[in-house]
């Protein structure tokens, strides 16, 4: 199978470095051709390509010059069965803060709902200014740490405040990381 993974086969060395890379197009065509030849021959040893399966959520976040991009799929799955084709996975925390959630849908929904209400109360208590992303991150990680991972909510928190754009990944057990881009989930 080295002809499929050899980096020198089918790679244009003069290709520009940036943008999309189509290096695997030639490899994929060679795999399909090999699989087609094996199926058309009368050999008892047939090559069957594995089918791609999608199980789980994919959430992503990216910081750019003046903002944040958050993204999530909309399918809710139960093992390999699609339970809901239009599931909201990007949750409102504050007017300038949103959060993507992966894990148990009920856990992510209620966790972000609880923190959203706490952020609203904090804004009313402190004069109604813009919420800080680090405050939402601290509230989320303290709440998740309290439950020691039993609340199945993996979160990507992002927003812009007076200090600029911020992006955090928050694991179900409460650990966090501030990154310029991140992805979470099992999909």
Compute CA distances 74 → 28, 110, 138, 155, 157, whole Å.
28, 18, 27, 15, 17
34 catalytic per annotation: no
Contact 133, 45 (CB under 8 A): no
Active-site entry in 55, 57, 176, 183: 57
> Which residues are designated catalytic?
57
């Amino acid at each position: 199978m080295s002809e499929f993974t050899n980096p020198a086969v089918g790679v244009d060395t003069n290709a520009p470095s940036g943008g999309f890379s189509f290096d695997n197009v030639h490899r994929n065509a060679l795999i399909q051709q090999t699989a087609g030849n094996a199926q058309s021959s009368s050999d008892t040893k047939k090559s069957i390509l594995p089918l791609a399966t999608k199980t789980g959520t994919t959430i992503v976040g990216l910081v750019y010059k003046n903002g944040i991009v958050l993204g999530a799929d909309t399918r809710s799955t139960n093992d390999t069965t699609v339970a809901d084709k239009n599931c909201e996975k990007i949750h409102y925390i504050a007017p300038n803060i949103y959060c993507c959630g992966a894990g148990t849908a009920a856990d992510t929904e209620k966790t972000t709902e609880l923190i959203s209400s706490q952020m609203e109360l904090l804004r009313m208590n402190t004069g109604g200014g813009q919420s800080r992303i680090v405050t939402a991150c601290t509230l989320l990680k303290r709440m998740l740490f309290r439950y020691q991972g039993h609340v199945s909510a993996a979160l990507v928190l992002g927003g812009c405040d007076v200090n600029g754009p911020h992006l955090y990944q928050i694991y179900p057990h409460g650990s966090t990381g501030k990154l310029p881009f991140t992805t979470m989930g099992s999909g």
